[in-house]
Amino acid sequence: MRNKKVYVAGAVLIAAGILIGLILGSGLNTTRPSAANPVVNAPVTPNPEPAPSPDSQLQGRKILDALSEAFANVAEQVNPSVVTIFTESTVKVSPFQFGPWEEFFGEDFFRRFFPQQPEGKMKRYGLGSGVIIDSDGIIVTNNHVIKGADDIKVRLMDGREFEAEVKGKDENTDLAVLKIKASDLPAIKMGDSDKLRVGEWVLAIGSPLGPELHHTVTAGIVSAKGRSGEGLSPFVDFIQTDAAINPGNSGGALVNLDGELVGINTAIVTKTGGFMGIGFAIPSRIVQKVTRDILEKGRVLRGWLGVVIQNITPELAKVYGLEKPEGVIVSRVVENSPAAKAGLKPQDIVVEFNGRPVKSVTQLTSLVSASDPGTTVRLTILRDGKRKSVEVKLGERPKEEELAEAPGEEHVPELGLHVENLTRELRQRYRIDASVKGVVVVDLERGSVAAEAGLRPGDVILEVNRHRVTNVDEFHRVMDDLQPGDPVAFYVQRRKERLFIAFTIPKKQS
């Protein structure tokens, strides 16, 4: 049955839309005259709309049957490639667990009065899902599914169970690769997550909530692409879907209507602990890169540019003359890095990566990290308002190097900023190198726009709206030309880092 052709085409979705139109046009509604819902003084329709013909009703039914058949065929094809993962770990349990009192008094306090109570151990059991990507027993899942596990068992759809060996894992993308001693397994077909479109149908398959619900299939659409945020990996531009995902689905398959793996289900946004319509999957592009590196090289190798970047905010977009706040701005170029060798400079705005539009720090980080070291990539940048193409040969990302995004901007009523010329005393106080030229921030009013934007005492303002400032007079000369409502972008030296702090000058209160 796995080789059964999946009858899916764009015509199915188009025809479904036509069907909806036929239904709406047929006059079917919930306010027809009835004993429970009389219509008073209903107007007489001289030419009533004709009822849908039997032929149109039959055609509509065929369209729905075709869509239903497509879902069923995909589920039948893919289900055997999805596995249920059971984990067992041993954790130490302290007998001195007295809630907030333990935190207040400390464990030693309770040990003094209850010395005979020994430490204990308990078993912890976990449940997740995985996907067979190679017929010789290679399985991909989430790292958090198997993290800390002493024993890992994999159960196939046919009921067979195997002990699993961890071939490798990558915490940065939350992926892990397992191996079981089996052959001729039904490996899933890999799809291209980059070709996914928002609104496209997808199916999620896994074992939510408990083993008795193994191989649950849910349907939904791709709700968004390129998602990031708190709690999500900065190395992954996640696929968002409304296909139902619950605890236990982690590591399971997200597939398109061709039965191809386009993502590994990983996380949900929830206030209840259960599904609330927002789930996230790791794109297959990243899954393929990570699993290949683990199996072939024993570790994940990531491309590296060597820049510190920030998202373009509305204020920065205005300062740099951009039509909309898209792209990322370079705040610092690491010395002797691939970016430095290619000629990238601070204040360059990256708008494309190998022809793909760049919209956020996470997206660019993901694209670079998913590229192999030594790969030559083409960046499209804006420099002084002019579009330019730059080729960069990526290096290997050092463990200690991280791309950073500066604090976000907030709008508040007052500027609340106080600066001074750099003196020997101020340089000593804030540990500012003698080569740094600018004005130093010595005070910020609480709640002021500058403070809320992320400026700190000890920051040295090097530029204001791209104008170099070396003393307080130059600083005020530039600021005096600005009006309430104008955007401001400070280029700041903070210890060894450089970053942008942007905000809007608040309008005066009447």
Catalytic residue among 250, 331, 360, 371: 250
Number of domains in the chain: 4
Among residues 170, 174, 237, 293, the one annotated as catalytic is 174
Q: Is 144 one of the annotated active-site residues of the chain?
A: yes
- Clarify whether residues 446 and 390 are in a common domain: no
CA distances, 25 to each of 20, 22, 49, 163 (Å) = 8, 5, 9, 58
Same domain, 349 and 312: yes
57 belongs to a structural domain = no
What is the CATH number for 455?
2.30.42.10
pLDDT in tens for each of the 510 residues of the chain? 444 444 444 444 444 555 445 444 444 333 333 333 333 344 445 566 666 677 777 777 778 877 788 889 999 999 999 999 999 888 766 555 545 444 444 555 445 555 555 566 778 888 999 999 999 999 999 999 998 889 999 999 999 999 999 999 998 889 999 999 999 999 999 999 989 999 999 999 998 888 888 889 999 999 998 887 656 777 888 999 998 888 888 999 999 999 999 999 998 877 766 677 888 999 999 999 999 999 998 888 889 998 888 888 888 888 888 888 888 999 888 888 999 999 999 889 999 999 989 888 888 988 898 889 999 999 999 998 899 999 999 999 886 434 333 333 222 234 677 788 888 778 888 888 888 889 999 878 777 788 888 888 899 999 998 888 988 878 877 887 787 778 888 999 998 888 998 888 876 543
Asked if residue 458 and residue 379 are part of one domain, the reply reads: no
Look up residue 256 and give its two tokens. Answer: 């398109």
Q: Is 174 assigned a catalytic role?
A: yes
Instruction: Give the domain CATH number at 234.
Output: 2.40.10.10
The answer to whether position 55 is within a domain reads: no
Tell me if 147 is assigned to some domain: yes
Q: Clarify whether residues 197 and 292 are in a common domain.
A: yes
CA atoms within 13 A on the CB side of 18: 14
Q: In 330-447, which ranges are continuous DSSP H helix?
A: 338-342, 361-369, 424-430
Q: Assess whether 484 and 431 both reside in one domain.
A: yes
- 323 found inside a domain: yes
106 and 141 both lie in a single domain: yes
- Residue 485 lies in domain: 417-504
Structural domain contains residue 24: no
Residues 491 and 447 in one domain: yes
Pair (283, 326) in one structural domain: no
- Among 396, 430, 447, the domain-final residue is 396
Query: In this structure, is residue 105 part of a structural domain?
Result: yes
pTM of the entire predicted model = 0.63
Q: CB of 420 within 8 A of CB of 432?
A: no
Per-residue pLDDT tens over the stretch 78-125: 999 999 999 988 876 655 554 544 444 455 544 555 555 556 677 888
* Residue 199 lies inside a defined structural domain of this protein: yes
Domain edge (last residue) among 347, 367, 396:
396
Contact 94, 106 (CB under 8 A): no
Mapped onto helix, strand or coil, the DSSP state of residue 182 is: coil
Per DSSP, 327 falls in state S
Q: Which helix (DSSP H) or strand (DSSP E) does residue 110 occupy?
A: helix 107-113
In a domain, 464, yes or no: yes
Domain boundary among 144, 179, 214: 179
